[in-house]
Amino acid sequence: MNWYEKTDKKLQDAISKIEEYIDGCSKFKIGKTGQEPKERFESEDYRGNYGRIEEVHSSNEKDVIDNLVKALIKHFRADKEYSKRCDNVAVGGSDMDASEKYYVYVVIKQ
């Protein structure tokens, strides 16, 4: 399997996970972090606005997470079925602090 096939598989797997997680929800937002997702969820911007957080993908490589989150946000903002429920405004989000492991996550409001 070459690099493009691996990347496409990661993207397709992540899309499938998110679609499963957000089924029936009113709003969702895709993000990235160098923290454990549950830790990230405790931040003020999420805890009061969303009901739960789900891990979508993890990697030791920051670039993998940066590129994956951009592709996911573009995908869900462009899809008519999901665009009105997707709370992402910027594609890619802010920079992450250095970490041993990075995560893509989705926060969900029922």
Instruction: Tell me the per-residue pLDDT of 56-106, one tens digit each, with 9 for 90 and over.
Output: 999 999 999 999 999 999 999 999 999 999 999 888 767 777 889 999 999
Q: Helix (H, G, I), strand (E, B), or coil: what is residue 35?
A: coil
Number of domains in the chain: 1
CA dihedral 9, 103, 74, 82 (to 10 degrees): 90
> Any idea what the Cα angle at residue 22 is, between residues 80 and 13, rounded to 5°?
85
Pairing verdict, β 27-33 and 52-59: unpaired
**What is residue 6's predicted lDDT score, i.e. its pLDDT?**
58
Structural domain span for residue 99: 3-109
